[in-house]
Amino acid sequence: MVQTGERLASTASERYLLVYMIAVLVIITSLVILFFVVFLKRKNKLLLDKIEQQQAFESEIAQAQTETQEQTLKNIGWELHDNIGQLLSFANMQLSILKMQVADDVKEKFKDTSDALKESLAEVRALSKTLNNEVLLNVGFEKSITNELNRLKKMKFESAELQIIGDKVDFKDRKHEIIIFRILQEFLSNSVKYSEAKNIHIILNYQTNSLIITAKDDGKGFDVTNAEKGSGLLNMKSRASLINANLELISRPNEGVELELNYQYNTVIK
């Protein structure tokens, strides 16, 4: 009987010890899991903070670059209007005075030069307006695009048209108006320099929540994959990112170039 009691007591002790060891093991395992979960959350939070800081830094850099570019364009616009414009006006005035002092049979020879000077002066003044964001805001978004297309049409395009779909929606932040215009201006500038296009077409599609802009030329096109690092494309994408707009450039050799921009009306500038 005594031995039986001892055996039972030994078995109970072993059970208690086993339960104790299992409990300790469960507690340790739980602590390890808890520590691992907390570690992962902290690690993810640090990574997210780092990404957000990097995005904020890149956004500030892009914003600073855009503001610098705008100020540079404004300065160039002033130089064109105030200095070069005045020089051309003075040259045209001097030519008119000289024209009155020569014989009648010579006056006709001054006509082509005088016309060229007048046209150059008009081009300089028109260009100066497109470079000054204050003038653009006064003129308005759609009118500024129309003026730019008319100016380019005189230069080389057979047609340069603006099509408007839907009812116009005013920009909540007029800085966005300038940014989108600069994107289109960059596209048009590239068309002039590289595309060999004859026709260009811009569509402003005012939808309920967004403005869809399509700009297309019928030039020689290019391989987009080989142009990802081009300054023009990077500049357009950088400006689009500032206003959270989705920008896509579509092109193939001999098929022209098409720009698609999706801008949400309720976007707040960073």
Residues 263 and 159: their CA atoms lie apart, in Å, by 26
Residues 40 and 196: their CA atoms lie apart, in Å, by 56
Segment 71-103, tens digit of pLDDT: 566 556 656 656 666 766 767 777 777 777 666
Residues 188 and 130: their CA atoms lie apart, in Å, by 12
- 85-101 burial, b for 16+ CB within 10 Å, e for fewer? beebeeebeeeeeebee
How far CA 240 is from CA of 69, 128, 183, 246, 264, in Å, comes to 15, 24, 8, 7, 11
The angle formed by the CA atoms of residues 183, 185 and 191, to the nearest 5 degrees, is: 110
Segment 96-149, tens digit of pLDDT: 777 776 666 666 666 777 777 777 777 777 777 777 777 777 888 999 899 889
pLDDT at 270: 46
Type of residue numbered 237:
K
The structural domains of the chain, ordered by start, are 141-270 (3.30.565.10)
Q: What does pLDDT average to over the chain?
A: 77
Secondary element (H or E) of residue 117: helix 111-131
**First-residue to last-residue Cα distance in the chain:** 87
Residues 261 and 259: their CA atoms lie apart, in Å, by 7
pLDDT at 126: 74
- pTM comes to 0.65
Contact 235, 178 (CB under 8 A): no
Residues 103 and 100: their CA atoms lie apart, in Å, by 8
* Percent share of the chain, pLDDT over 70: 70
* pLDDT greater at residue 215 or residue 1: 215
User: Beta 199-206 vs 159-165: how paired, if at all?
Assistant: parallel
Segment 218-264, tens digit of pLDDT: 999 888 777 655 667 778 888 888 888 999 989 888 889 999 999 99
Contact 216, 256 (CB under 8 A): yes
pLDDT at 150: 87
